[in-house]
C-alpha cells in the first residue's frame, strides 16, 4: 500500500471519528433534554399544569446562569418551543459545557422538594440516564456511518 493512500485513510478515519464524536455529543444532549421535558402524562417525570415550568427551560454554553422568572398571574397556558435548545446544542463546540436551566422561580423546590413535599427529581432522573442514552446513540451513529 502506498504511503499516500495510507495517509489518506488515516485522515479519513480521523475526520469520521470527529464527526461521530460530535454527533454522539449533540444527539445525546438533545435526548437528555427530551427526557427531562417529557410530562408525567406521557410517561415522564415533569409535572405540567400550565406549562410555565416546562416552557422556562433554556440552554446555554455560558457559565453564567440566567435569572429566575416569576409565573405571570392568571390562567394562561404556556407552550414549550424546543428551538432555542436545539440551536444551542447545534452551535456548541464539544469543548463547551452545555447547561440546561429551568428559569421558573419554583423549579428548584419542585425538583428537590420543599415544605415537607418530596422533590419530583425529573432533572436528576434524566441525568441518571446519560450513560444509557450515550450508549444507544453510539450504536445508532455506528450503524448510520458503517461501523
pLDDT tens track for 51-95: 999 999 999 998 777 788 888 887 778 999 999 999 999 999 999
Give which of 94, 86, 83 is closest to 25, Cα–Cα.
94
Average pLDDT over residues 131-140: 94
Please report the pLDDT score of residue 67 as a whole number.
Answer: 81
Question: Would you list the domain boundaries of the chain?
Answer: 29-145
Please report the pLDDT score of residue 15 as a whole number.
Answer: 75
For 31, other C-beta atoms within 10 Å of its C-beta total 18
Please report the pLDDT score of residue 4 as a whole number.
Answer: 66
Percent share of the chain, pLDDT over 90: 71
Please report the pLDDT score of residue 147 as a whole number.
Answer: 66
Alpha-carbon distance of 44 to 110, in angstroms, equals: 15
Task: Please say whether the dihedral angle defined by the alpha carbons of residues 129, 134, 135 and 137, taken in this order, is positive or negative.
Answer: positive
**Which of residues 128 and 73 earns the better pLDDT score?**
128
Cα atoms in the Cβ-side hemisphere of radius 13 Å centred on 68:
9
Average pLDDT over residues 104-131: 96
pLDDT tens track for 88-97: 999 999 999 9
Amino acid at each position: 500500500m502506498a504511503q499516500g493512500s495510507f495517509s489518506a485513510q488515516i485522515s479519513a478515519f480521523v475526520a469520521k471519528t470527529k464527526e461521530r464524536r460530535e454527533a454522539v455529543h449533540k444527539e445525546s444532549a438533545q435526548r437528555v433534554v427530551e427526557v427531562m421535558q417529557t410530562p408525567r402524562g406521557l410517561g415522564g417525570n415533569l409535572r405540567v399544569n400550565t406549562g410555565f415550568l416546562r416552557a422556562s427551560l433554556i440552554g446555554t454554553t455560558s457559565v453564567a446562569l440566567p435569572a429566575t422568572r416569576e409565573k405571570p398571574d392568571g390562567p394562561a397556558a404556556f407552550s414549550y418551543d424546543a428551538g432555542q435548545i436545539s440551536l444551542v446544542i447545534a452551535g456548541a463546540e464539544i469543548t463547551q459545557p452545555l447547561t440546561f436551566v429551568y428559569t421558573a422561580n419554583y423549579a428548584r423546590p419542585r425538583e428537590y422538594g420543599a415544605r415537607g413535599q418530596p422533590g419530583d427529581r425529573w432533572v436528576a432522573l434524566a441525568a441518571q440516564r446519560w450513560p444509557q442514552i450515550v450508549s444507544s446513540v453510539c450504536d445508532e451513529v455506528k450503524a448510520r456511518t458503517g461501523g
